[in-house]
Amino acid sequence: MERHVHTQLTGHAGLSALIAARLYPVKLPQDVSYPACVYEIITRTEFPAMGSNADHSRKRITVTGYDNSYSGVKALETQIVAALDRYTGTSDGTTIDGSYLENVSDLYEDEFQIYQVSIDFMIYWR
């Protein structure tokens, strides 16, 4: 499912225009250029069905955008939401039944003087 999300984010023209290939799992590499984004799985929930797991799961993912300016992270927010909110699709044997925006938080890292926007999505997949 993570590969599917990665493909959806990098394939979205508006986001790709901003970050090029700077989309990373879990953490930013050292000496990264901005703007850039990171995605990570926060939780995974399996739905039980009569003593076994059903073929449906739910994951909460966070996509965090980083930039040198507040307006830059707000542009990232717009494109990340456009790429993933209410998204459905099938790829590599994984079907995304729905991806829904859950939460948006603005952040600032004083030590590095970098603005961030953290966006949570609940994704239902099988």
Hey, what CATH topology would domain 2-125 get? STM4215-like (3.30.2000)
The 10s digit of each residue's pLDDT in 47-82 is: 666 665 566 788 899 999 999 999 999 999 999 999
pLDDT at 24 over 80: yes
User: Measured between alpha carbons, how far apart are the two ends of the chain, in Å?
Assistant: 9
- What pTM does this model have? 0.89
Contact 118, 64 (CB under 8 A): yes
Please list the alpha-helical segments (H only) found in the chain. Answer: 2-11, 13-19, 70-84
Return the domain boundaries, the chain.
Answer: 2-125
Structure tokens at 36: 């850039």
If you write DSSP's letter for every residue of 37-78 in order, what string do you get? Answer: EEEEEEEEEEEEETTEEEEEEEEEEEEEEEESSHHHHHHHHH
Beta-carbon neighbour count of residue 53 at 10 Å?
10
